Homo-oligomer: A and B are copies of this chain.
């Protein structure tokens, strides 16, 4: 049993763990279906090794950091944003490397809730005389991989929903035009949110109206897989979606065919069939298919219908609401539920954070239902 220990951490500890977190932040989006992890090896007040998780199957963060540290890892402290694994997965267990390297102390931000790990890594290290402290910057480390933890626990993708609204709550003017409601800084942040997700999803109306690229361009990072929801496969136009299908994995989710069926069309676009127009059953099938492919976090980017469906059926794990400095007086609503909620039964966001991009605002939080 792990003893209940009140850990106290120095400012130095916090600094190194903060560094490890930044390394993990940088890796976020590249590691699916694995969590993004950062690790720093410190010896006598000097960083002698650092690493972050890479694409799935490559060395874990701590292994990279130890390799970089070489013989300096002997007697060093290892800061790591997630409990090291103790099992043979796609890579051998990291705990063995830590012990072999002679690391004296390990500071872990967070226990890995993955049932394959969950305390086993920490126990193994302690049994091998490594001094282990847990819980430094736990909240930050937890939020960084919130999608992973949720997905592992529920066997379904984490769903984020992002909308860009005017101050009066519209996602487009009466003509359907939405370019641009928010400013460049806000849209740059959207690209950063995108690169943290395994996939993005839009409805066919948004594809036809906006012809979005759905790629990561304004920040460094990997473009996520692209989903378009549609009742039929009609996108023969010269859309970015079709043109870039050979560069970015692109999937049309169709509410027809046989449940779970997959095809690829000549342009390289995949077709996924949910086999039903019934909501939310088609969404569950879609989420199941995505999860099985390791697409464990999906950013829904609208339009109204797709956003409303995911939210009304309580499938949204995190909301990102951007407000651009505009008032339209009338336009297309961000949401249009089949049934409006009463004030007392309204959705509210917990753990909210507010960001300002000059005169644009973004609020994010976890939706909660009464």
| Chain A residues within 8 Å of B, Cβ to Cβ | 165-170, 172-175, 177-181, 308, 311-312, 319, 321, 323, 325-331, 333-337, 339-343, 346-349, 352, 354, 356, 359, 361, 363, 365, 367
Docked pose: A174 CA to B325 CA in angstroms: 26
Please pick, from B173, B329, B336, the residue contacting A335 in the complex, using a CB distance under 8 A.
B329
A331 to chain B minimum Cβ distance, whole angstroms, is 5
Docked pose: A160 CA to B360 CA in angstroms: 21
Please pick, from B343, B354, B359, the residue contacting A326 in the complex, using a CB distance under 8 A.
B343
A185 to chain B minimum Cβ distance, whole angstroms, is 14
The dominant DSSP class at the A interface is: loop
Docked pose: A352 CA to B360 CA in angstroms: 9
Neighbouring B residues of A175 by C-beta, 8 Å? 342
Given contacts A169-B334, A335-B168, contact A329 B325 (CB under 8 A): no
Contact B169 A346 (CB under 8 A): no
Please pick, from B311, B329, B330, the residue contacting A329 in the complex, using a CB distance under 8 A.
B311
Neighbouring B residues of A352 by C-beta, 8 Å? 325, 359
* Sample of 14 more A-B contacts, CB < 8 Å, known A168-B333, A331-B340, A349-B359: A167-B349, A169-B334, A173-B342, A173-B343, A175-B342, A178-B343, A179-B343, A181-B343, A323-B363, A325-B348, A327-B347, A328-B340, A330-B341, A354-B361
Q: Which residue of B lies closest to A342 (CB)?
A: B173
Neighbouring B residues of A339 by C-beta, 8 Å? 329-330
A43 to chain B minimum Cβ distance, whole angstroms, is 43
Docked pose: A340 CA to B170 CA in angstroms: 11
A15 to chain B minimum Cβ distance, whole angstroms, is 28
Q: Which residue of B lies closest to A353 (CB)?
A: B359
A231 to chain B minimum Cβ distance, whole angstroms, is 22
Neighbouring B residues of A336 by C-beta, 8 Å? 329-330
Given contacts A167-B321, A363-B361, contact A311 B340 (CB under 8 A): no
For the complex of A and B, the 5 pairs showing the least CB-CB separation, nearest first, are A169-B169, A329-B337, A330-B340, A174-B340, A326-B346
Can you pick out 13 interface pairs between chain A and chain B where the beta carbons lie within 8 Å of each other?
A166-B346, A174-B342, A175-B342, A180-B343, A326-B348, A327-B335, A328-B341, A329-B335, A329-B336, A330-B333, A330-B341, A354-B356, A359-B365
- Which of A165, A331, A367: most chain B CB closer than 10 A? A331
Docked pose: A319 CA to B173 CA in angstroms: 20
Docked pose: A321 CA to B331 CA in angstroms: 18
Q: Which residue of B lies closest to A347 (CB)?
A: B327
Contact B169 A170 (CB under 8 A): yes
Q: Which residue of B lies closest to A336 (CB)?
A: B330
Contact B347 A326 (CB under 8 A): yes
